[in-house]
Structure 1
């Protein structure tokens, strides 16, 4: 994942001024909070839901691709 350095905020700043984090999310879509070597992403809930849902087209294309790639093996197994 590419992270825009404009979206970074330290955990100290986030703790002191959480409204700054929410403003950043509203303006830039995401805020990345840094704590030592860890990174935490804050984003709008609706965007997180969209990232979790696979489009039906993608889901349906997977079995078709697998059938095409393994057609000969399926023919042998069917005998």
Structure 2
């Protein structure tokens, strides 16, 4: 992983001023948060177009799989 030295901030700074950290992440795309002088976390900004929502059919398929997998358990709970 390549760390941008201009996009690093200590965990103490993040705790004291998260808004500044978020602004830096927005500007740089990602922010490396340092803990004990070592990279520990990454704060990543993402754009609206990176968010996807499942279709109704995908939700129904997932629910069907869940119900099929646990149908015996649901039957036992209903007794």
User: TM-score normalised by the shorter chain: which range applies?
Assistant: 0.5 to 0.7
Q: Which runs of 4+ in 1 moved over 2 A?
A: none
1:1-79 equivalences under 5 Å are 1-36=1-36, 37-45=38-46
Instruction: Tell me, yes or no, if the aligned pair for 2:32 and 2:39 is still in contact at 8 Å.
Output: no
Would you say how many aligned residue pairs link Structure 1 and Structure 2? Answer: 48
Task: List alignment gaps of at least 5 residues for structure 1.
Answer: 51-79
The TM-score with structure 2 as length reference comes to: 0.53
3-state DSSP class of the match of 2:25? helix
Instruction: Tell me, yes or no, if the aligned pair for 2:34 and 2:41 is still in contact at 8 Å.
Output: yes
Q: Which has the higher helix share?
A: 1
What do you get for the CA RMSD once the two structures are aligned?
Answer: 2.0
The TM-score with structure 1 as length reference comes to: 0.53
Task: List alignment gaps of at least 5 residues for structure 2.
Answer: 52-79
Partner Cα separation in structure 1 for residue 45 and residue 27 of structure 2: 11
